[in-house]
Chains A and B, each alone.
Chain A
Amino acid sequence: MIARGLQHRTRPESAVAILRAPGYETDLADTVERGVRLFHRSLDGQTVVLKPNLVEHDPHGVINTHPAVIAAAIDAFRRLGARRIVVAEGPGHRRDTEYVLRSSGLLEVLRERRVPYVDLNVDAVRRVKIAAGFTKLGYLYLPETVLGADLLVSMPKLKTHHWAGVTLSMKNFFGVIPGGVYGWPKNVLHHAGIDRSILDITSTLPMPKFAIVDAIVGMEGDGPIHGRARDVGALVFGDDLVAVDATATRLMGLVPEKVAHLAGAGFLGNVDSGRIAEAAEPLDELRQAFDVVPRFKRLRGG
């Protein structure tokens, strides 16, 4: 077990915004822009790295961050003045970048918008000392593309996860770990402890971070690949990734304090709902009861 992370008494409250987005065919760029503007008025001259969650062939839009959400984020960050936008991901199972981009529908989005894609699995790397030290790894190799970002935007899919309970903006950072060094799957992190690795990776990424969770259609049950689609109809925004993940966990009807990596994340951000302001739609109006695999039934309330 990870010791419960200390909530910094001096940490200011965080804000998380849930915006309704009924489907992938609506004007998502406008929604994303509204969501980001609640936290960032301008990103003039900045390099923004968008880190979606791309896993497998996904004909029904359930496994991966939907390409329409990534397209909307590109358009929104451009409107906000970003100088350079890069989409970057290092899938944990698939090495075939051409396949991943084509089958996910992302290649078309990138071509239309002339945005580069970087496969973080094979990017140039730099050795960085781990900031938190929950694992015994000591250091991590991190991709230069990520380390060069002025703003790193984690764009996960809202999903339950059969090893970690939930997979959201912090777990999504497993995809910045280069497979060239750690392999496919990035099993070294599993052996070091998934929850501990999530905390070490998130705390070691030094740049400002932001999260946009694709909760338009989520995945319940045996995620992150074999679960069932669940319509939620929302996007979740925030600059405190712990608060975003805690809120998104509550959106699934689960208790974030019972998710090991969130329970230990108090040194990174706010988990306590009393310290998280709802900046847009009330959570209770959209909250659902996601199914989970038996070993995570304990994550439900009550």
Chain B
Amino acid sequence: MTTATGTANPSFARAHRVDVTAVRGTFAEAVRGQLLGAQNEDGGWGAVCAAPSNTEATALAVLALSRSGGRAVERGLAWLERSQRPDGSWSWMSGVVAPSWATSLAVLSLTPHPHEAERARRGGEWLLRQHGCRLGWRASLLHRYARDRMLVRLDPDLRGWPWTPGAFTWVEPTAYAMLALRTARPLLAGRRVDARLAEGERVLYDRVCAGGGWNYGNPSVFGVDARPYPELTAVALLALDTPPSDPRVADSAARLAALLDDQAIASGLSLAFAALYFSRHGAELTPWIDALSYVHRQTGFLGDTKSTALALLAADGRRVGQS
């Protein structure tokens, strides 16, 4: 389904296409309205409508709505300002005392706003200080000298980003941190950013599944190859910022397109991430918006703020994670 230029067409959506132009415009308005209607009194967004505000949902909603601006974005930014911790990080939601991976999304969201540059910089500095933990000397030795005896197939010495400070490195927090640091690079010391981005790339290439694609970060467990997940494959591809034609990611990009050709697997979240990736590298956006529109009509993305915000970013033809 993927050509050398990265064009991918979920065929189930093609079968349901009505009027492309109308669908695209209507869809963008529908998800924008859904997002605006889900904003909480405190200015933030929850995982779904009426849920307590959390950093991930608020950051993505602000990012998605920022082009149109307005009071909703101001209130969202104010929520993020109030929620930043003294060390520059953000916790997952109020009441949780620990800093979190969602800091990456807050940085991604604040960076485009010049008056938020200092907050974004402090968040970026916090991210630069975070490393996944090591698994210990035994895992390192096994990886070097007896790789076939490892229960999980990964390089334990590579350190990307964990979900929570002090924990192990996984794909999604690493990818988000890379997107945030690339965006906030002008605010940070470039050399340190480049070194961490290179480290993150090594992690992602190490964790790729057999045949391409990514899951949460275990490509093989007990000698069995684990399956890739479309949404995380798209996130990792976005973070690597590499076109589908590049041999290093060609298998993964092709597998992503193939996975999302299955109506039973495609969701708002995976389609939106994939649209953001493929369109960044020149693919026609329309088939993806068709697919998103089709799924949205069926499920409304179950009211999921993250999926809705990402779908709006895709429908608006926005680029995420570039400096």
Contact = CB atoms under 8 A, between A and B. Distances in A.
Contact of A96 (B95, B163, B224, B269): B269
Contact of A125 (B96, B102, B226, B229): B96
A187 B167 contact: yes
A119 B101 contact: no
Contacts of A185: 170, 216, 218
Interface in B153-173: 162-164, 167-168, 170, 172-173
Contact of B163 (A98, A117, A127, A182): A182
Contacts of A293: 222
A39 interface: no
Nearest to B52: A124
B304 A184 contact: no
Given A98-B268, A102-B299, A162-B222, A183 B96 contact: no
B170 A181 contact: no
Given A122-B47, A124-B52, A188-B167, A98 B267 contact: yes
16 contacts: A95-B231, A99-B231, A99-B270, A102-B267, A103-B264, A122-B48, A124-B51, A180-B56, A181-B96, A181-B98, A183-B167, A184-B163, A185-B216, A187-B167, A187-B170, A188-B167
A195 interface: no
Interface in B140-198: 162-164, 167-168, 170, 172-173
Contact of A103 (B172, B226, B265, B302): B265
A101 B93 CA distance: 25
Give the bracket for the number of chain A residues in contact with chain B: 35 or more
A123 interface: yes
Q: For chain B, what secondary structure do more than half of its interface residues adopt (helix, strand, loop), or is it mixed?
A: loop
A96 B167 contact: no
B297 to A, nearest CB: 13
B278 interface: no
Given A96-B231, A180-B93, A122 B163 contact: no
Interface of B: 46-48, 51-52, 54, 56-57, 92-93, 95-98, 100-102, 162-164, 167-168, 170, 172-173, 215-216, 218, 221-222, 224, 226-227, 229, 231, 264-265, 267-270, 295, 299, 301-302, 304, 307
A188 B98 CA distance: 13
Given A99-B267, A102-B264, A180-B56, A124 B164 contact: no
Contacts of A94: 229
A119 B54 CA distance: 14
A275 interface: no
Given A122-B46, A141-B96, A183-B164, 13 more contacts: A98-B268, A98-B302, A101-B302, A117-B302, A124-B95, A162-B221, A180-B92, A182-B163, A184-B163, A191-B167, A222-B224, A226-B222, A293-B222
A126 interface: yes
Interface string A58-79: 0000000000000000000000
- Is chain A's binding surface mostly helix, strand, loop or mixed? mixed
A93 B26 CA distance: 33
A225 B100 CA distance: 28
Nearest to A99: B267
B168 A187 contact: yes
A57 interface: yes
Contacts of A93: 215-216, 229
B163 A125 contact: no
B170 A184 contact: yes
For the complex of A and B, 6 pairs with smallest distance between CB atoms: A183-B163, A122-B47, A98-B267, A99-B267, A180-B92, A124-B52
Which has the most chain B C-beta neighbours within 10 Å: A119, A122, A127, A182? A122
A204 interface: no
A103 B226 CA distance: 18
Contacts of B93: 124-125, 180
Interface string A256-299: 00000000000000000000000000000000000001000000
Contacts of B95: 124-127
Nearest to B218: A185
A92 B170 CA distance: 13
Interface of A: 56-57, 93-99, 101-103, 107, 117, 119, 122-127, 141, 162, 178-185, 187-188, 191, 222, 225-226, 293
A293 B221 CA distance: 12
Max count, chain B CB within 10 A of own CB: residue among A96, A107, A119: A96
A96 B222 contact: no
Contacts of A102: 264, 267, 299
A162 B220 CA distance: 13
A229 to B, nearest CB: 16
B299 A184 contact: no
A94 B226 CA distance: 13
A96 B168 contact: no
A160 to B, nearest CB: 12
A182 B100 CA distance: 9
Nearest to B301: A98
Contacts of A123: 47, 51
Given A102-B264, A127-B95, A181-B98, A96 B54 contact: no
